[in-house]
Amino acid sequence: MINIALQGAEFFAYHGFYPEEQKLGCRFVVDIEVSFVPPEGLNDEDLDNSVDYEKLYIIACEEMKHPRKLIETVGQSITDRIKNKYPFIESIRVIVKKLNPPLMGKVAHSSVIINYPSAK
């Protein structure tokens, strides 16, 4: 089993339930972790037998550009695109953190964690 991770990818985006959040935007951090068994092994150093973390970043970047009311939806969209791009992946963990969410007090971040397959 191989694990590949992309940690701390930062984005400015317009996700949020309230109109002010969708207008002003906010900083977000995305972490992605995937686990898989290479379909053909890794002895030939062929990137097609692995997960390209640059592609993971591009998927996250593209999904962060589409404003949504819930960061849960953002995390699920990222997860779904990774599953479609790399069908041999056995597990995916996506964490979307909203930095300094607009609350009544100081909060470092709120977050959502999407796991595939989901725990039952």
Residues 6+ positions from 67 with CB-CB distance below 8 Å: 13, 14, 15, 22
Q: How far apart are CA 56 and CA 87, in angstroms?
A: 14
Q: How far apart are CA 115 and CA 97, in angstroms?
A: 15
Show the domains of the chain with their CATH numbers. 2-116 (3.30.1130.10)
Residue with tokens 């317009």: 14
Above 60 in pLDDT, residue 52?
A: yes
Per-residue pLDDT of 63-85, as tens digits, reads 999 999 999 999 999 999 999 99
Structure tokens at 116: 């595939």
Per-residue pLDDT of 14-49, as tens digits, reads 998 888 888 889 999 999 999 998 877 666 676 777
